[in-house]
């Protein structure tokens, strides 16, 4: 066994222990430790990725060399490694992009707590990515939830507490359903390891026994994860949670947390149940309908929002709708598109959050639309970054959003019954996206009168003033362009990874 | 090189009148610009009357020479030889092609004579209206356009100049510059364009279904292409008839005539009524007899509707003229009615009727020109426009009124004046045609209309000479000037043509024969 | 010529334009020289490319294995490129004079020049992805031009423009995907690329997808009911409304529909479907609708904009005829209308520039004070009406020929609509002319004492346009031959 094969476990443990260590450090050192951990794990994951690509096959890492069903397994393929790497990059950029806000909005004494949460979050995300055990996955889902709540609540205003409570309730409902589903599966198959369950499920399906319980399990798990990842009718917790929490929390939550759950769902589809069975069950149709509804309704809500952060948050609802719509197509191409969209949306949404904070900084911290007039001139980089993010969101060629739109539509062509509705929903959704994003872009590039600027105390912010944020923005833009211009390798990675899945 | 010389022979009159017309327009426009520039600084700064008179004289001499030379050249060029010239291609397979045949000769000669008469008349009359340079500019330009129109050798070329004719005659209608005349001009323009576009619709179809659009006696429809598309082609032809009929004042697009004629200066209305309106007739002949072929529409609903429309127009025009009080408007209604005689003749599709129609083209041109010029003289000398105000006018303008009377009698069709001959042929043509009911209805309507014509034209004479007591026109000797002379000459021509119509009849029969014995 | 010259032609104005705000120009005239140089160089290069067409395609870069941005100049593209290369230098000259009054010139000129490159990109696009790419980009680079005056009206107009354009592109995208999935290639190939074997049982979707895609692209060509943005966008400075909203942008939309119809979907599979009939009906309706709105409108620029709506649907009508002559007519009308409309817009612009009067009823008596402009305007008006001997007649002739030959009742109706529209054109154009030259007897010329012809930079383009209008009208052979070659490729 190559040394590098230990990377998954090492990175999970590293981030897990970095949390408690942070609690004894002060804020600054905690930040440094955190950044170091993320970077280190990122580098390790990159190494792992190249290793897996090199061997071109997945491997199973049995913890403590106990065989199943007692031992706990980690399974690594191309997709897992790539996801780990990507999550690290995004998280790193989010953390450095939100430094200023954190220092401003979080009490001095609680700074280090924040990094505990971030570390724990990273740990749980990595575990969700790597684990081959359903129950372990459940445990880390819960850890994920708790740390996410912490991230929301750390900026202590009444609204965040309310939002966190709401998030907590909804999330727990979701995890409860997930747990029920897992229980069903366990009692049907007697296993918790994914590969074992899959064998049994295939047998069950072949024999035609326990059809309804199996379906129920699938439903419970899908709905549970759907609630946690804010699929349309269960999205009510999301705008407040993202809109009012501190910048890096919002960025991390929107781009990573829900994506971790969705990735888990992909794993359940492929590795636990088997995609053929999923396709035959009608669950995906439900997901499809909710996805489409989310695409439209999320955008409609975003149009009605009058606060830039809430607008971006609502836009997440729409984007998650895209992802579920991709699942709903019931084809591998659809799943590929969805996974690509996870990546693309993570890169874009965090960019938008960071850029929006830059814009509001230049407008005396006001998030109200009317105060953003001309902000693009006052903070040039943030304005440009916001424009890039918006263009990506409306599927402008060159940016990542275009490619995911392309993949979704191509995938739709493969499902005869859903071609039209998918394509038209995509088009309408793009128009709605254009309405709210481009409206904002036009607003931030409409110059404000001099008197108003002085009156409201708007300041100009140059690139060098907030170096961390600027660096993050530039990296995000580069990432977006990279995904948009040379998407081929990423898509191939996803394809390969899915092949390894099942 | 030979082609070039041939072309020059044909186009010298066109170029001469066209260029000098444009030159005049340009110079008039320049002086306008200068005037308004000066005017904005000093509104009262006008040229002295002597200066104006002098320059007017120069203008008249210039126009007179140009017009005479152009007319002579045109006549010489058409009567010496049948020429044809291809200028250039408007689109693929669409040449601008000229060819003068007998019909063209007839029309060119007619136009030239009328133009000469109206021109001479205008020298004096236009003093009354002002802006002479512009008037003569468009007048000459229009002459050039008409010459080209009448010598056009295919439908596209014809259409080309047809539109140009509309555009260059519109300013003549608007000449006065008053609100009504501008509105009348626009009405004229839009009706004409509307008609032209109806016709263009037909042309598009004919282009598809004809072997060639060159005028060929008997038509050029390609029957193999047509089979199966008869319906749509009939509609197209019908629209074309309606479209070209617009210019000829046929129902339902006749109302521009009664707006445009009264608004235009008298020489312009004379030209409009005797020539421009006839170009609608020419267009119909060209389209129906030389491209589609009468055989295609004979006996179909197209012919029936066409006949109904023309007869309605004949009757309605006379009726409205009878009720109309404004003199020039009355004459305009009369034109509507009379031109539809011609169109009725065409719609019958018989040899006799064709001859009658062609004769009526010539006679009506002279008569209506004379009548409008008389009306102009009345207006010029008395500034009155309503017919009942002319009672007792004979006391002042004996000669003119006698001229008017002869022309009226000719229009009514009383032998031996000219109108009789043409109506005779038209009636014969109707009776000899195989159109059933219409063969009888036609002559009846013609007769009723003739009665109405007498009813609306003769009262002016009667009242003019025998006003009784209700007159306020002073007794005065009429000056014998250009205007009187022109009216008189035109009347004499009508009378002569009425008494010795044989050469003309023979010529018309020849044209008609060429259409039936191809 | 080598294929990479095409890249230079596309990138030169883009980069040259982008540099304008960065270079510290000392004088205004230097900017003019610089811009004119960039634009002229591009135009010359483009003309060279058109006359010595490179055989190969040039791949700029690849998105993915199948999706690439690549340039290739073919017959239809050459037609569009000719329009652009001919009009842009003249329009730049005009714009330079016009923009004297306006602020933020540099930004304006930057986008104005960049747009040139982007539209050339559309003309030279080798495949549907490239075209879509430049098409979207066109929306973005022209947006600041609409927004330029930054008044509330402009902001609203630019929003409308943006929503319509992006929305249209979103629907056009559907068609693009269809081509990508079911086409043998994504490249534009005369006669279409769809592979019936690949489509299989999804054939019944084809008309629907085509209709959606056509409507999507025709948003830029302002087809009804997507035409509302165009008159609104008239708030932009006249060089923009003239060049972009009468020529470059809207023609890009029309050109795109032409591309997908004849070069991607292919007429074989579409002819006679309900989609063709529906679209034909819509274009016919738009022809009439645009004209009627133009007659009703009293603001000069908006009137001309509605006229553009109607005229663009002539092109679209030619496109949906799906016959050789429909294609010829569409391409010809693209060229002819471009010259005529830019000419009339520039005349309107000259009036606005010199007098700031924008309504038709304020133009009484202008004919004598701005003789050059109004004589030129008259000729442009006559050409738009389709008077024989001027350019409008030629293109309408071929459109009509296509319509007659199509043998479809709707096509006949379209022919009727063409003529009704010509009549309405006469009404809305000639009333302006008559007003200007015949203001009425009582008119007092002192009220227009301040009116005068503009300087040579504005007159020169106008004169060139008029010469071209007459030239095309009298000797259309050189154009029709070129266009017929394109049609011969598509319909062998």
pLDDT for B490 equals 86
User: What ipTM was reported for this prediction?
Assistant: 0.86
Mean pLDDT for B455-464 is 84
pLDDT for B49 equals 57
pLDDT for A1 equals 63
Mean pLDDT for B366-381 is 86
Task: Give the distance from residue C305's alpha carbon to the nearest chain B alpha carbon, in angstroms.
Answer: 22
Cβ atoms of residues B260 and B288 within 8 Å: no
pLDDT for B45 equals 46
pLDDT for C65 equals 67
pLDDT for C98 equals 82
pLDDT for C195 equals 84
Q: How many beta carbons lie within 10 A of that of residue A23, not counting itself? A: 11
Q: Quick one: pLDDT band at residue B51, thresholds 50, 70, 90?
A: low
> Nearest-CA residue of chain C relative to B170?
C434
Task: Return d(Cα A117, Cα A18) in angstroms, integer.
Answer: 10
pLDDT for A24 equals 84
Interface of A with C in 439-478 (CB under 8 A): 439, 442, 445-447
Task: Give the distance from residue A411's alpha carbon to the nearest chain C alpha carbon, in angstroms.
Answer: 9
Cβ atoms of residues B328 and B260 within 8 Å: no
Task: Give the distance from residue C455's alpha carbon to the nearest chain A alpha carbon, in angstroms.
Answer: 32
Q: Which two tokens stand for residue C333?
A: 């009308």
B499 vs C: CB within 8 A = no
pLDDT for B1 equals 62
Tell me what the pLDDT averaged over chain B comes to: 83
A410 vs C: CB within 8 A = yes
Interface with chain A: mutation pick from C132, C174, C194, highest number of A CBs within 10 Å: C174
pLDDT for A191 equals 82
Tens digit of each residue's pLDDT (9 = 90 or more) over B389-402: 777 777 777 788 88
Task: Return d(Cα B481, Cα B305) in angstroms, integer.
Answer: 47
Secondary structure string (H, E, C) spanning B220-233: CECHHHHCCCHHHH
Ranges A180-189, C187-196, C451-460, C479-488: which has the least confidence: C451-460
* Percentage of chain B exceeding pLDDT 70: 95
> Nearest-CA residue of chain C relative to B92?
C477
Interface of B with C in 17-76 (CB under 8 A): 29, 32-33, 36, 39-40, 43
- B180 contacts on C by Cβ (under 8 Å): none
Tell me what the pLDDT averaged over chain C comes to: 87
- Computed from CA positions of residues C329, C334, C336, C341, in that sequence, does the dihedral angle turn out positive or negative? positive
pLDDT at A389 over 90: yes
Mean pLDDT for A443-453 is 81
Tens digit of each residue's pLDDT (9 = 90 or more) over C129-174: 899 989 989 988 888 888 888 888 888 888 888 889 888 988 898 8
What is the count of residue pairs from A and C with beta carbons less than 8 Å apart?
95
pLDDT at B80 over 70: yes
Mean pLDDT for C251-259 is 91
- B205 contacts on C by Cβ (under 8 Å): 404
- A340 contacts on C by Cβ (under 8 Å): none
* Percentage of chain B exceeding pLDDT 90: 2
Task: Return d(Cα C84, Cα C230) in angstroms, integer.
Answer: 20
pLDDT at B486 over 90: no
Tens digit of each residue's pLDDT (9 = 90 or more) over B387-441: 777 777 777 777 888 888 888 888 888 877 888 888 888 888 888 887 778 888 8
Which of C405, C446, C474 minimises the CB distance to B88?
A: C474
- C67 contacts on A by Cβ (under 8 Å): 406
- C416 contacts on B by Cβ (under 8 Å): 201
Interface of B with C in 122-181 (CB under 8 A): 156, 159-160, 163-164, 167, 171, 174, 176-179
> Nearest-CA residue of chain C relative to B29?
C368
Q: How many beta carbons lie within 10 A of that of residue C281, not counting itself? A: 14
- C383 contacts on B by Cβ (under 8 Å): none
pLDDT for B39 equals 59
Tell me what the pLDDT averaged over chain A comes to: 86
Ranges A358-367, B224-233, B466-475, C353-362: which has the least confidence: B466-475
* Residue C73 per-residue DSSP state: -
- C173 contacts on A by Cβ (under 8 Å): 395, 405, 409, 426-427, 430
pLDDT for A6 equals 83
* Residue A73 per-residue DSSP state: E
Quickly list DSSP for B82-130. --EEEEEEEETTEEEEEE--HHHHHHHHHHHHHHHHHHHHHHHHTTTT-
Which of C407, C446, C480 minimises the CB distance to B40?
A: C446
Look at A488 and C180 and tell me if their CB atoms are within 8 Å: no
Quickly list DSSP for A266-299. HHIIIIII-HHHHHHSTHHHHHHHHHHHHHHHHH
pLDDT at B228 over 70: yes
List, in order, residues 6 or more apart from C264 with CB less than 8 Å away: C128, C175, C179, C183, C188, C189, C192, C193, C194
A487 vs C: CB within 8 A = yes
Quickly list DSSP for A84-137. HHHHHHHHHHHHHHTHHHHHHHS-GGGHHHHHHHHHHHHHHHHHHHHB-BHHHH
B5-9 long-range contacts, CB within 8 A, separation 24+: B6/B83, B6/B85, B7/B85, B7/B87, B9/B77, B9/B83
Task: Return d(Cα A318, Cα A230) in angstroms, integer.
Answer: 10
Look at A419 and C180 and tell me if their CB atoms are within 8 Å: no
Tens digit of each residue's pLDDT (9 = 90 or more) over B98-142: 888 888 888 988 899 888 888 888 888 887 777 788 888 888 889
- Computed from CA positions of residues A202, A203, A207, A208, in that sequence, does the dihedral angle turn out positive or negative? negative
Look at C159 and A395 and tell me if their CB atoms are within 8 Å: no
Tens digit of each residue's pLDDT (9 = 90 or more) over C82-127: 999 998 888 888 888 888 777 778 888 888 899 999 999 999 998 8
- A405 contacts on C by Cβ (under 8 Å): 173
Mean pLDDT for B275-289 is 90
Tens digit of each residue's pLDDT (9 = 90 or more) over A280-334: 888 888 889 999 999 999 999 998 888 888 899 899 899 999 999 998 888 888 9
> Nearest-CA residue of chain C relative to A488?
C64
Look at C398 and B189 and tell me if their CB atoms are within 8 Å: no
Instruction: Tell me the residues of C at the B interface, defined by beta carbons under 8 Å apart.
Output: 365, 368-369, 371, 382, 385, 387-389, 393-394, 397-398, 400-401, 403-405, 407, 412, 415-416, 419-420, 422-423, 426-427, 430-431, 434, 438, 440-441, 445-446, 449, 473-477, 480, 484
> Nearest-CA residue of chain C relative to A392?
C136
pLDDT for C292 equals 92
pLDDT for C285 equals 92
Mean pLDDT for C363-386 is 86
pLDDT at B509 over 70: yes
Angle between helices C105-124 and C4-19 (to 10 degrees): 170
Q: Quick one: pLDDT band at residue A68, thresholds 50, 70, 90?
A: low
* Chains A and B touching, counted as 3 or more CB pairs less than 8 Å apart: no
Tens digit of each residue's pLDDT (9 = 90 or more) over A94-141: 888 888 888 888 877 788 888 888 889 999 999 988 888 888 889 999
* Percentage of chain C exceeding pLDDT 70: 99
pLDDT for C197 equals 83
B258 vs C: CB within 8 A = no
First-to-final CA distance of chain C: 26
pLDDT at B35 over 80: no
Phi-psi region of B91 (alpha: psi -120 to 50; beta: other; left: phi over 0): beta
Q: Interface partners of C (3+ CB pairs, < 8 Å)?
A: A, B
Tens digit of each residue's pLDDT (9 = 90 or more) over A395-422: 888 888 888 988 898 888 887 788 888 8
Q: Interface partners of B (3+ CB pairs, < 8 Å)?
A: C
Look at C136 and A424 and tell me if their CB atoms are within 8 Å: no
pLDDT for B43 equals 45
pLDDT for A344 equals 92
Look at A397 and C65 and tell me if their CB atoms are within 8 Å: no
- Computed from CA positions of residues B226, B231, B237, B243, in that sequence, does the dihedral angle turn out positive or negative? negative
pLDDT at B44 over 50: no
Mean pLDDT for A213-229 is 89
Q: Name the pTM for this structure.
A: 0.88
> Nearest-CA residue of chain C relative to A397?
C133
Quickly list DSSP for C381-433. HHHHHT-TTSHHHHHHHHHHHHHHHHT-HHHHHHHHHHHHHHHHHHHHHHHHH
A372 vs C: CB within 8 A = no
Look at C397 and B91 and tell me if their CB atoms are within 8 Å: yes
Look at C477 and B89 and tell me if their CB atoms are within 8 Å: yes
In terms of Cα–Cα distance, which of C171, C64, C61, C194 is closest to A336? C64
Look at B159 and C388 and tell me if their CB atoms are within 8 Å: yes
Indicate the length of chain A as a whole number. Answer: 502
Mean pLDDT for B487-502 is 85
């Amino acid at each position: 066994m190559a040394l590098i094969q230990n990377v998954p476990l090492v990175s999970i443990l590293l981030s897990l222990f970095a949390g408690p260590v942070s609690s004894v450090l002060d804020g600054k050192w905690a930040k440094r430790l955190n950044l170091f951990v993320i970077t280190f794990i990122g580098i390790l994951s990159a190494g792992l990725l190249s290793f897996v690509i090199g061997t071109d096959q997945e491997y199973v890492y049995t913890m403590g060399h106990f065989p199943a069903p007692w031992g706990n397994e980690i399974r690594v393929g191309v997709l897992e490694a790539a996801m780990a790497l990507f999550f690290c990059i995004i998280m790193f950029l989010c953390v450095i992009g939100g430094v200023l806000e954190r220092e401003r909005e979080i009490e001095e004494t609680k700074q280090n707590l924040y990094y505990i949460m971030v570390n724990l979050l990273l740990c749980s995300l990595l575990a969700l990515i790597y684990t081959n055990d359903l129950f372990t996955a459940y445990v880390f889902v819960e850890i994920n939830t708790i740390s996410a709540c912490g991230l929301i609540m750390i900026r202590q205003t009444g609204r965040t507490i309310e939002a966190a409570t709401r998030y907590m309730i909804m999330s727990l409902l979701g995890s409860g359903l997930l747990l029920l589903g897992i229980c069903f599966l366990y009692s049907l198959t007697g296993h918790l390891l994914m590969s074992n369950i899959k064998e049994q499920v295939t047998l069950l399906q072949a024999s035609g026994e326990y059809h309804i319980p199996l379906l129920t399990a699938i439903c419970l798990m899908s709905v549970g994860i759907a609630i946690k990842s804010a699929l349309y009718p269960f999205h009510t917790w999301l705008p407040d949670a993202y809109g009012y929490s501190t910048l890096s929390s919002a960025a991390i939550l929107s781009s990573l947390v829900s994506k971790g759950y969705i990735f888990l769902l992909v794993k359940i589809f492929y590795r636990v149940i088997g995609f053929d069975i999923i396709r035959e069950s009608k669950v995906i149709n439900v997901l499809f309908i909710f996805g489409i509804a989310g695409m439209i309704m999320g955008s409609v809500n975003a149009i009605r929002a009058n606060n830039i952060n809430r607008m971006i948050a609502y836009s997440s609802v729409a984007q998650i709708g895209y992802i579920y719509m991709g699942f709903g197509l019931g084809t591998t191409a659809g799943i590929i598109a969805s996974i690509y969209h996870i990546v693309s949306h993570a890169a874009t949404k965090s960019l938008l959050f960071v850029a929006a904070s830059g814009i509001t900084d230049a407008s005396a911290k006001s998030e109200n639309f009317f105060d953003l007039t001309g902000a693009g001139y006052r903070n040039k980089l943030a304005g440009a970054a916001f424009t890039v993010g918006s263009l990506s969101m409306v599927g402008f060629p060159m940016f990542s959003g275009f490619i995911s739109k392309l993949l979704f539509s191509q995938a739709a062509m493969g499902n005869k019954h859903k071609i039209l509705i998918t394509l038209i929903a995509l088009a309408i959704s793009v128009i709605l996206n254009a309405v709210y994003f481009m409206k904002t872009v036009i607003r931030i590039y409409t110059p404000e009168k001099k008197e108003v600027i002085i009156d409201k105390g708007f300041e100009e912010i140059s690139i060098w003033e907030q170096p961390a944020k600027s660096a993050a923005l530039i990296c995000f833009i580069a990432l977006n362009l990279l995904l948009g211009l040379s998407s081929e390798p990423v898509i191939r990675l996803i394809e390969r990874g899915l092949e390894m899945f099942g | 090189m030979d082609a070039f010389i041939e072309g020059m022979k044909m186009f010298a009159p066109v170029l001469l009148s066209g260029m000098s017309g444009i030159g005049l327009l340009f110079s008039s426009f320049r002086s306008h610009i200068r005037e308004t520039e000066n005017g904005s600084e000093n509104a009262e700064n006008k040229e002295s009357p002597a200066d104006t008179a002098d320059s007017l004289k120069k203008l008249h001499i210039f126009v007179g020479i140009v017009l005479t030379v152009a007319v002579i050249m045109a006549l010489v060029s058409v009567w010496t030889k049948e020429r044809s010239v291809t200028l250039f291609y408007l689109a693929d397979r669409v040449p601008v092609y000229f060819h003068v045949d007998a019909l063209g000769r007839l029309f060119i000669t007619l136009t030239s004579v009328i133009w000469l008469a109206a021109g001479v008349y205008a020298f004096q009359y236009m003093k009354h209206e002002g802006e002479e340079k512009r008037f003569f500019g468009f007048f000459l330009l229009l002459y050039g356009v008409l010459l080209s129109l009448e010598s056009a050798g295919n439908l596209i070329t014809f259409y080309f100049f047809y539109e140009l004719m509309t555009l260059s005659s519109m300013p003549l209608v608007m000449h006065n510059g008053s609100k009504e005349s501008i509105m009348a001009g626009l009405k004229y323009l839009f009706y004409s364009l509307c008609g032209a576009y109806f016709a263009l619709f037909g042309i598009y179809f004919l282009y598809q279904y004809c072997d060639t659009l060159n005028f060929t006696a008997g038509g050029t429809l390609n029957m193999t292409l047509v089979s199966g598309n008869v319906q749509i082609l009939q509609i197209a032809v019908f629209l074309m008839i309606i479209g070209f009929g617009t210019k000829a004042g046929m129902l339902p697009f006749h109302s521009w005539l009664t707006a445009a004629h009264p608004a235009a200066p008298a020489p312009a209305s004379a030209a409009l009524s005797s020539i421009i309106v006839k170009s609608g007739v020419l267009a119909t002949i060209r389209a129906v007899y030389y491209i589609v072929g009468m055989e295609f529409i004979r006996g179909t609903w197209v012919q029936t509707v066409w006949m109904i429309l023309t007869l309605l127009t004949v009757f309605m025009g006379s009726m409205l003229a009878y009720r109309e009080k404004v003199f020039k408007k009355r004459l305009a209604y009369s034109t509507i009615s009379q031109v539809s005689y011609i169109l009725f003749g065409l719609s019958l599709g018989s040899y006799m009727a064709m001859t009658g129609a062609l004769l009526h083209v010539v006679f009506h041109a002279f008569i209506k020109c004379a009548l409008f010029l008389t009306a102009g003289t009345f207006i010029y000398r008395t500034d009155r426009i309503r017919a009942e105000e002319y009672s007792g006018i004979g006391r002042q303008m004996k000669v003119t009124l006698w001229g008017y009377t002869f022309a009226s009698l000719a229009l009514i069709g009383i032998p031996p004046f000219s109108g009789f001959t043409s109506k005779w042929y038209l009636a014969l043509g109707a009776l000899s045609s195989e159109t059933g009911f219409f063969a009888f209805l036609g002559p009846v309507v013609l007769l009723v209309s003739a009665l109405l014509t007498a009813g609306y034209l003769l009262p002016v004479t009667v009242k003019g000479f025998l006003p009784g007591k209700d007159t306020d026109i002073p007794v005065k000797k009429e000056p014998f000037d250009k205007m009187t002379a022109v009216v008189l000459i035109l009347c004499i021509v009508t009378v002569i043509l009425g008494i010795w119509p044989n050469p003309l009849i023979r010529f018309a029969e020849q044209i008609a024969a060429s259409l039936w014995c191809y | 010529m080598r294929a990479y010259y095409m890249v230079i032609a596309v990138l030169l104005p883009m980069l040259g334009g982008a540099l304008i705000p960065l270079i510290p120009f000392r004088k205004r005239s230097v900017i003019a020289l610089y811009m004119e140089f960039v634009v002229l160089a591009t135009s010359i290069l483009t003309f060279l490319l058109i006359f010595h067409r490179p055989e190969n395609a040039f791949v700029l870069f690849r998105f993915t294995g199948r999706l690439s941005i690549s340039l290739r100049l073919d017959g239809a593209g050459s037609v569009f490129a000719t329009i652009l290369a001919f009009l842009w230098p003249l329009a730049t000259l005009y714009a330079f004079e016009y923009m004297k009054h306006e602020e933020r010139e540099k930004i304006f000129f930057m986008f104005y020049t960049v747009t040139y490159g982007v539209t050339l990109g559309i003309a030279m696009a080798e495949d549907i992805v490239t075209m879509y790419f430049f098409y979207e980009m066109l929306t973005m680079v022209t947006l600041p031009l609409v927004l330029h005056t930054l008044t509330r009206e402009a902001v609203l107009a630019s929003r409308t423009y943006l929503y319509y354009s992006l929305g249209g592109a979103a629907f056009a995208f559907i068609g693009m995907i269809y081509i990508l999935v079911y086409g043998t290639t994504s490249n534009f190939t005369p006669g279409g690329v769809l592979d019936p074997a690949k489509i299989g049982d999804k054939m019944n979707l084809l008309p629907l997808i085509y209709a959606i895609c056509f409507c999507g692209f025709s948003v830029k060509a302002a087809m009804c009911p997507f035409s509302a943005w165009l008159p609104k966008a008239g708030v932009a400075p006249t060089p923009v409304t003239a060049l972009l909203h009468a020529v470059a942008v809207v023609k890009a939309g029309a050109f795109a529909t032409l591309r997908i119809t004849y070069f991607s979907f292919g007429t074989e599979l579409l002819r006679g479907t309900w989609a063709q009939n529906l679209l034909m009906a819509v274009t016919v309706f738009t022809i009439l609708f645009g004209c009627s709105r133009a007659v009703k409108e009293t603001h000069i620029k908006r009137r001309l904009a509605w006229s553009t709506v109607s005229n663009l649907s002539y092109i679209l009508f030619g496109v949906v005829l799906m016959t050789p002559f429909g294609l010829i007519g569409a391409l010809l009308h693209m060229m002819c209308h471009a010259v005529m409309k830019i000419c009339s817009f520039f005349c309107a612009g000259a009036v606005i520039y010199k007098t700031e009067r924008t309504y038709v009823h304020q133009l009484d008596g202008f004919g004598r004070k701005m003789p050059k402009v109004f004589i030129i305007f008259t000729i442009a008006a006559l050409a738009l009406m389709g008077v024989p001997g001027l350019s409008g007649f030629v293109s309408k002739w071929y459109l009509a020929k296509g319509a007659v030959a199509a043998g479809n009742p709707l096509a006949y109706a379209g022919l009727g609509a063409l003529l009704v529209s010509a009549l309405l054109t006469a009404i809305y154009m000639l009333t302006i002319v008559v007003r200007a030259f015949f203001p009425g007897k009582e008119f007092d010329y002192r009220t227009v004492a301040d009116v005068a012809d503009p300087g040579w930079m504005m007159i020169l383009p106008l004169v060139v346009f008029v010469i071209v209008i007459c030239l095309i009208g009298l000797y259309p052979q050189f154009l029709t031959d070129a266009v017929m070659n394109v049609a011969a490729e598509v319909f062998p």
